Amino acid sequence: MSAPLIEQLDAPETWRDVAKKALHNRSFLTGLIITTIILALAIISFFWTPWSITDLDISLKLKKPSLEHWFGTDHFGRDIFSMIMVGARNSIAVALVAVGIGVLFGVPIGCWAAAKGGYADEVLMRTNDVIFAFPALLSAVMITAIFGPGAINAILAIGIFNIPVFARISRGAALSIWPREFIMAAEVAGKGKIRITVEHILPNIINLLLVQGTIQFSLGILAEAGLSYVGLGTQPPMSSWGRMLNEAQTMMSFAPHMAIFPGLAIVVTVLGLNLLGDGLRDVLDPRLRRER
Amino acid sequence: MKILTTLAKTTALAAALTMSASFVAINAWAAKTDVTLGMVLEPPHLDPTAGAAAAIDEVVYANIFEGLTRIGSKGEVLPALAESWTVSDDGKVYTFKLHTGVKFHDGSDFDANDVKFSLDRARGEKSTNAQKALFKGIASVDVVDPATVKITLSAPAGNFTFNLGWGDAVIVAPESADSNKTNPVGTGPFKFSKWAKGSSIEMVKSDNYWGKPVALSKATLRFIPDPAAAVSAMLAGDVDGFANFPAPESIPQLKADPRFKVVIGSTEGETILSINNKKAPWTDIKVRQAVAHAIDRQAIIDGAMFGLGTPIGTHFAPHHPAYKADLINTYPYDLDKAKALLAEAGFPNGFKAVIKLPPPSYARRGGEIVAAQLRKIGIELEIVPVEWAQWLDQVFKKKDFDLTIVSHTEPQDINIYARKDYYFQYSSDTFNKIMTDLNLATDQAARYKLMGDAQTLITKEAVNGYMFELAKAGVWNAKLKGMWENAPVQATDLTGVSWAE
């Protein structure tokens, strides 16, 4: 197995291979199932929730979990299960857009830096380091405190700190692709740097981005919950897991269900996404493939 | 990693719950002479004659500063620095006989000149007093002799001695007046000792107090803005009590605990849904009436205050004899009527507006409920939480708001509806006339009648949404005696507080 090794490594995996490997990866499967359930709850919440979360019926307040209210009700008489469904929608939306911002700006910056090299690379990546040096969540608190609390500002604040993450990872990955023979071939064939990046670099780094995206996604959900917990994130009547936790705080002693369920929702979702991310890396990452 | 902090916090709370019982039992055996009370808001400074913040009075009133008169725990007018007073037959000249031998905390003597200085300063051109209206009727202040002051009014004023009992009318010394903000020097039984910004204010017993000495040797007021932290501070014994506990949901739990005494009293806090009367579409009385019909007061009290509070139909304290109780039925909860009124006003499908909510739970939670209630008649409210500083700036000063929720805790403050450019921007000549008449009236029956007319007018015009009278949820160590049950003025009066043996 001397010469053919390289051939084997670079031989494109078919989707069937990937799928087969995925089905045998336990953490990927568990993560996928959890994520799908949360996603399904979020999507269903657009059309239906067991109870309305905007009509408050104070007379139903602080009911313990029952068949009628699976997770009980909160201090305004709202059904906690319904709020968690809508909260899932909110968390996913915020995290998705935040990751989107990171990808949209970070990936082009990273790829450009890798393609250009030299002075531009240096400037971009050092700027990146500066942004990295800020504690992300604290800075997000600062941004929302200045520009006012609300879902949009929370998304922007979380998104901004996703940019350097994606810039760095795509630059690193792209740099490892650039010296490869097929890129040289493309250069010889007269393709420009932009075209090479789009046609050859991106397809080769997309798996890495997907894995990182999943992880950033779960961090985004945590960040949104954190911001909402301190009152700077999503505002009522929209439901948010972080704010539910905050509201539950003073009622812990007599209505623990108010804190337990949103807390569980955050833990389970973040766990699911991290498992999914781990699994995806096992399945997709070429570097890991080599080691196996 | 906010979530981790939450988890840590909740575990800590749980631990505190189980452990605090034993700790407090150990602490309580020694006869204490110091007290630590919790307060929600930290005052911006400590000069009650130069600021509207209730937190200033809650620290210094009756403890550090005294006025000629003072207001007692039941809202009665009591003599303070004035030993006694007489009123001339025409009701215009008040002659106050002052206590002698009174010293300020810095050692300087108190006499009639200080009274003249303080009152002239408060009503003067350059005055920064938040309640200048209290002194408007004063024509002149004259020193008769060092222990006698004659105050001449331009017209008889029925509640002049009550006005002099406000925190804004305390007597200060010319030497220290300008530095009272950071180093308050008064004549009270406690003198200011230190202020750890962001944490606590400490005062100690004044040794040369002219009156009955206080039982406590030291009092500390700790600022605990977070309701959850207030609960744990109470349970852990970090504070001996709260004159006004910020987490109504925890009251049943504290009540069930034999270590604590829970006293639900009344305040002067009319908690209202303030409406910007000069901003469209709120200029239309029909829109305001629609809002009044759409508000379910009991639901707000139950949901936001866990049942603590008395519904009100107007801007007046329900425990006052002149309160018109029947006004609460002026706009019964009726969504059809509300929708019809909105349609008449030209908004059959409702409209969008903004509600700005300051931090207390009556506002934040109340606002969520109000938003849900108004949504039922088509008014979509965007909820904007603001900090107090922002509230004072955006809402109170710049009047940049549609709706807000705030509790007006000054006693008998219906006269704010006559103020020019007050933040909810109501203006009515009829109302101003009633207030002028009220200021001139000295006969009690006539005064009550006028107060009633004023209440009826603002309710009929649906100036603001009248929700409920804030309750005073006092929670303190069961061994602590002499705390006020009610809050007729903004105060944490510690002069009568002591520990039981």
In this complex, which of B3, B303, B373 lies closest to A75 when CB atoms are compared?
B303
Could you report how far apart the first and last alpha carbons of chain A are, in Å? 15
DSSP 8-state symbol, B61? B
> Per-residue pLDDT tens for A225-279?
998 998 888 888 888 999 999 888 888 888 899 999 999 999 999 999 999 988 8
pLDDT tens digits in sequence order for chain B, 501 residues long: 444 444 455 555 554 444 444 444 445 445 688 999 999 989 999 999 998 888 899 999 999 999 999 998 888 889 999 999 999 988 889 999 999 999 999 999 999 999 999 999 999 888 888 888 888 889 999 999 999 999 999 988 878 898 899 999 999 999 998 999 999 999 999 999 999 999 999 999 998 899 888 999 999 999 998 888 999 999 999 999 999 999 898 998 899 999 999 999 988 999 999 999 999 899 999 999 999 999 999 999 999 999 999 999 999 999 888 999 999 999 999 999 999 999 999 999 999 999 999 988 899 999 999 999 999 999 999 999 888 888 989 999 999 999 999 999 888 889 899 988 899 999 999 999 999 898 888 788 898 999 999 999 999 999 999 999 999 999 999 999 999 988 888 889 999 999 987
Ranking A34-38, A54-58, A199-203 by mean pLDDT, the lowest is A54-58
In this complex, which of A230, A235, A250 lies closest to B228 when CB atoms are compared?
A250
In this complex, which of B7, B249, B376 lies closest to A250 when CB atoms are compared?
B249
In this complex, which of A149, A227, A252 lies closest to B10 when CB atoms are compared?
A252
List CB contacts (< 8 A) between B365 and chain A. 75-76
Taking the CA of residue B302 and the nearest CA in chain A, the distance in Å comes to: 7
In this complex, which of A76, A242, A263 lies closest to B368 when CB atoms are compared?
A76
The reply to whether residue A237 touches residue B371, judged by beta carbons under 8 angstroms, is yes
In this prediction, residue A1 carries a pLDDT of 40
In this prediction, residue A3 carries a pLDDT of 46
In this prediction, residue A259 carries a pLDDT of 92
The reply to whether residue B375 touches residue A76, judged by beta carbons under 8 angstroms, is no
Minimal-distance CA residue of chain B relative to A266: B3
List CB contacts (< 8 A) between A231 and chain B. 385
State phi, psi for A176 to the nearest 5 degrees. -80, -20
Structure tokens at B374: 């108004």
The reply to whether residue B371 touches residue A149, judged by beta carbons under 8 angstroms, is no
List CB contacts (< 8 A) between A149 and chain B. 384-385
Interface of B with A (CB under 8 A): 1-3, 6-7, 9-10, 13-14, 17, 227-228, 231, 247, 249-250, 252-253, 299, 302-303, 306, 365, 368-369, 371-373, 375-376, 382-385
Say whether the peptide bond before residue B359 is cis (omega within 30 degrees of 0).
Answer: no
The reply to whether residue A231 touches residue B385, judged by beta carbons under 8 angstroms, is yes
How many residues in chain B?
501
The reply to whether residue B253 touches residue A254, judged by beta carbons under 8 angstroms, is yes
In this prediction, residue B345 carries a pLDDT of 93
Work out how many CB contacts closer than 8 A connect A with B: 91
**Mutation for testing the A interface, residue in B1, B4, B5, B6 having most A CBs under 10 Å:** B6
The reply to whether residue B3 touches residue A263, judged by beta carbons under 8 angstroms, is yes
Q: What percent of chain A has pLDDT over 70?
A: 93
Tell me: pLDDT of A13 over 70: no
The reply to whether residue B375 touches residue A54, judged by beta carbons under 8 angstroms, is yes
The reply to whether residue B383 touches residue A231, judged by beta carbons under 8 angstroms, is no
Taking the CA of residue A279 and the nearest CA in chain B, the distance in Å comes to: 24
> CA angle, A176 as apex, A172 and A178 as ends, to 5°?
115
The reply to whether residue A75 touches residue B249, judged by beta carbons under 8 angstroms, is yes
DSSP 8-state symbol, B67? -
Structure tokens at B452: 């009633």
List CB contacts (< 8 A) between B405 and chain A. none
Tell me: pLDDT of A120 over 90: no
In this prediction, residue B21 carries a pLDDT of 45
In this prediction, residue A271 carries a pLDDT of 94
Reported ipTM: the value is: 0.77
The whole-model pTM stands at: 0.81
List CB contacts (< 8 A) between A230 and chain B. 2
In this prediction, residue A10 carries a pLDDT of 52
Largest Cα span, chain B? 71
3-state secondary structure of B321: coil
The reply to whether residue B3 touches residue A225, judged by beta carbons under 8 angstroms, is yes
List CB contacts (< 8 A) between A55 and chain B. 372, 376
